[in-house]
């Protein structure tokens, strides 16, 4: 099975330091939805792995998160794309759970649920914790310079073998070229 793991905020949609708390705040990054559709058309399963600590912080609830994701699913369907599964961690950082990236629990769960060894599976994110979680399970960390990506790159200390791309569309071109 061909699988790609994506972070949501900052990779697929415009991110905000104040969190994406409503469907009105969710806006796709230009080219990201079409990039996901290209993956789908090339036979890839696309899974989102996203920290959503705004729930644990009380900034929004599950109804709001579901409405945001529904908006994303509808926008994807308009360009012929889909997400095969969405995994998220609702906990605040201080909860010390195993599912919150940079810990690898959420990605390990994806591997288990899809019955896939995550070795070299592309895992695209815009923050160091996305890349660290990918590296911890043997996936291929890919940094995009959208969202927090430029700050992440400037801070350095990226996991070994991290690939860097301007955006999701460029990362997807690389993934497809290698398949």
* Residues catalogued as catalytic: 7, 9
Report CA-CA distances (Å) from 16 to 8, 10, 94, 118, 127: 12, 8, 20, 29, 13
Nearest to 27 by CA among 75, 88, 77, 82: 75
What's the token pair of residue 129?
A: 């914790």
What is residue 39's three-state secondary structure? Answer: helix
Task: Report the alpha-carbon angle 51-64-87, nearest 5.
Answer: 35
* Residue 105 to residue 1: CA distance in whole angstroms: 21
Report CA-CA distances (Å) from 111 to 49, 61, 103, 105: 12, 27, 14, 10
């Amino acid at each position: 099975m061909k699988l790609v793991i994506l972070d949501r905020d900052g990779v697929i949609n415009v991110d905000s330091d104040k969190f994406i708390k409503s469907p009105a705040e969710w806006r796709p990054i230009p080219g990201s939805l079409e990039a996901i559709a290209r993956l789908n058309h090339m036979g890839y399963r696309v899974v989102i792995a996203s920290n959503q600590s705004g729930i644990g912080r009380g900034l929004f609830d599950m109804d709001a998160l579901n409405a945001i994701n529904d908006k994303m699913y509808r926008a994807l369907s308009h360009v012929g794309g889909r997400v095969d599964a969405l995994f998220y961690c609702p906990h605040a950082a201080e909860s010390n759970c195993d599912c919150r990236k940079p810990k690898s629990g959420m990605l390990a769960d994806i591997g288990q649920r899809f019955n896939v060894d995550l070795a070299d599976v592309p895992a695209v994110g815009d923050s160091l914790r996305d890349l660290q979680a990918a590296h911890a399970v043997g996936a291929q960390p890919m940094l995009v310079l959208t969202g927090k990506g430029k700050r992440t790159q400037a801070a350095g200390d990226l996991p070994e073998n991290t690939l860097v791309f301007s955006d999701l569309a460029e990362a997807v071109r690389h993934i497809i070229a290698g398949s």
